[in-house]
Amino acid sequence: MQLRDIKGVGEAAACDLEKTGINSLSELIDNYPRRYEDYSKIDKIKDLVIGQVSIRAKITHVAGRYVRRGMHITEAIASDGSGSVKLVWFNQPYRKNAIKSGQDYFISGLYDLKRSRFSITSPSVELVSEFPINTARILPIYKETKSLKSTKLRKIYAEVFKNIGPKDMQDWLPSEVKESNQFISRYEAIKKVHVPGDLKDIRLAKTRLTFDELFVAMFASRLNQQALRLQKAHKFEYTDADNKQFKKLTKALNFDLTDDQRRVVWQVVQDLSKDQPMNRIVEGDVGSGKTMVAMFASLFCLLKNQQIAIMSPTEILAKQHYKTFTGYLSKLGYSAEVKLLVGSQKPKEKAAIRQYFAGGNKGILIGTHSLIAKGTSFTDLALVVIDEQHRFGVEQRKSLKTESHLSPHFLSMTATPIPRTLALTIFGELDISIINDKPAGRKEIITKLVSWDDRNSVFEPIKKEIKNKRQIFVVCPVIDPSSSLPANSVSEITKIYSDALPNAKIESIHGRVKQEDRDKIMNDFASGKIDVLISTTVIEVGVDMPNATVMIIESAERFGLAQIHQLRGRVGRGKWQGYCYLIPTDKLSNVYRLDKMTHVSDGFKLAEFDLKLRGPGAVYGSLQHGALDFRMVDITDVKMIESTSRLVKKYVDIININKYPEFKARVKQFQIFTTLN
């Protein structure tokens, strides 16, 4: 069945569905409700209390009129024998002719006090029937657009389930799992989630559909772990000579390592001492010192005469790492072994570096996607460090070419906090190291939420910081204004700030600026030639500017909390106090989430809060390779996640995945998504 074959789905509705990403019947079925409103209890009018209500009544005295500025109001009286109540609709003039006098209706809506009189505002009404769609039942509420409301979608789903049955929907969960856990069928779950009869239906449906999503994800990660255990890697013994070199590097640093950094470095050394490939991810806030962990790991392998690759998501960050590594490792006599490979280098220089590693020489190669470009290869790659790992797809990482039969160890680093439950779901038993400690002397960033109509108040503190020779970042979600996305753009904000700060040196940067021009602007900012840098999130990853003290995030409601947390971590990295100002687009912006930023500095707490509000797809959509498309899973439901994990361990060696093609396809897709190695 095609979308246009469904009764009630004309060309206009089909186009509306396609705009929301629904192009097929299967995508329509997988479009689960966001929440439910319970109108199943039918009240007498005399017993109504403020809130969502349903009544069964006759409707009379229907009248329509136009009021100020063309607004149309339709009013009517509903009576059920126990009393009467006023009904009010706005800009729905068709109601007058649609309502049939003398007929019984189900009426559902908000009962409230308006202008000293109780009424039901904008109610849904349906002639009394055995199967109402938009009244007198539990109503699914979907993600809506201006032209596609839940009332329309509920009618569409009612038609869908008139035309498809259990035989039309494959139940791909392996029979061994279904039978032993007494789940309802997938068809029943899908139908109940869209057309629930009662609250029990919703619970049964959510349990089955949540389990499906979790089981596939965890089964895939379990298979990845089994495959990893079959691989062999370099095994290095930590000796007294290595310990002496580590102490030399520690002494060469111009700061003290935190306890967390020391702990994580030792965890990595222990991993490198095994013949199974390391598969560790290091999480830590911006500025927590993850780079130092990578440096000690790289030094350990370098001491064993091995090759190391460090992949960065941007050329700016790659050059920053190169400067850091050569600066410290040169004090141990290893500056010549550290090489940089980025796109802006001259062909002759790149060819020489590639030849160096292809020839089997030991060393550390730091770069961007150039490390996986054609012509780059290693003879014996022992360690791969991926900085901001979710910015590289799995296939890209696999493109690192080595002639050795041994698999390299993988160390991934990210400033995006991944709560334990999400990590367990996606990565299973992946080794996770967390750096919580901040470097000594690092101050908390003072974060303030500025109302949209008070935005000019930020210019005084900006002027003060510029006077003190400090610098300012301003981040916007879009480059140019857009009618489809209300948000402050780089072009608009650049003009506003230029007018407000006529004596400041202001530059803008975004994805459409050529790479060489972008690098020049960033270098000018780093050298203090620019006071205010206005940009999109191209500055999100890895920029270390100790002199920057202010981060202003325009249209802040357009960003996730984890992303805002990373952005504000770009300032206050020197000895001066850092500030972050969050400015919403307008008075209609939802600022509930943003207020959390003003009093919470723990990235994990912010991530968990964002997960509850927006779900993992929104928070971690770019994680790994593809979208994290959990539609039903509550990633904070520890009990459900842990029980599913136990079942996966039980069945992973029992189920013959080849017997279930659809299940196998889903698992294989998630395997691509969840592997780090």
Give the integer Cα–Cα distance in Å for 461 and 473.
Answer: 13
Give the integer Cα–Cα distance in Å for 437 and 285.
Answer: 9
What average pLDDT does the chain have?
87
Which candidate, 643, 645, 617, places its Cα nearest to that of 630?
617
Task: HSE, CB side, 13 Å, CA atoms: give it for residue 635.
Answer: 29
For the record, the structure tokens of 438 come out as 């901040």
Per-residue confidence band for 603, with pLDDT thresholds at 50, 70 and 90: confident
Which candidate, 282, 277, 251, places its Cα nearest to that of 266?
282
Helix (H) or strand (E) holding 382: strand 381-387
What tens digit of pLDDT does each residue of 240-269 get? 999 999 999 999 998 889 999 999 999 999
Look at strands 363-367 and 446-449 and give their pairing: unpaired
For residue 616, pLDDT over 90 is answered with: no
What tens digit of pLDDT does each residue of 357-387 get? 999 999 999 998 888 888 889 998 999 998 8
Task: Set out the domains of the chain in order of their start, with CATH numbers.
Answer: 1-37+148-164 (no CATH), 41-136 (2.40.50.140), 240-435 (3.40.50.300), 446-600 (3.40.50.300)
Which of 125-134, 346-355, 523-532, 577-586 is least confident? 125-134
What tens digit of pLDDT does each residue of 184-232 get? 999 999 999 999 999 999 999 999 999 999 999 889 888 888 888 888 9
For the record, the structure tokens of 565 come out as 């947390």
Q: Which residue has the higher pLDDT, 348 or 18?
A: 348
Percent of the chain at pLDDT exceeding 70:
91
For Cα atoms 468, 439, 529, give the angle at the middle one, nearest 5 degrees: 30
Per-residue confidence band for 655, with pLDDT thresholds at 50, 70 and 90: very high
Environment class of 651 (CB within 10 Å of its CB; exposed 0-12, middle 13-18, buried 19+):
middle
CB < 8 Å & 24+ apart, contacts of 437-443: 437/258, 437/259, 437/260, 437/261, 437/288, 438/258, 438/285, 438/287, 438/288, 439/255, 439/258, 439/287, 439/288, 439/289, 440/255, 440/256, 440/258, 441/575, 442/287, 442/572, 442/573, 443/572, 443/577, 443/578
Q: What is the pTM of this model?
A: 0.72
Which of 155-169, 408-422, 616-630 is least confident? 616-630
DSSP string, 443-475: PPPEEEE--GGGGGGGHHHHHHHHHTT-EEEEE
CB < 8 Å & 24+ apart, contacts of 196-203: 196/36, 196/137, 196/138, 196/140, 197/137, 197/138, 198/40, 198/138, 199/38, 199/138, 202/36, 202/138
What tens digit of pLDDT does each residue of 535-544 get? 998 765 556 7
Strand residue runs (E) in 67-103? 72-79, 84-90
Per-residue confidence band for 10, with pLDDT thresholds at 50, 70 and 90: confident
Q: Which residue has the higher pLDDT, 555 or 101?
A: 555
For the record, the structure tokens of 183 come out as 């789940």
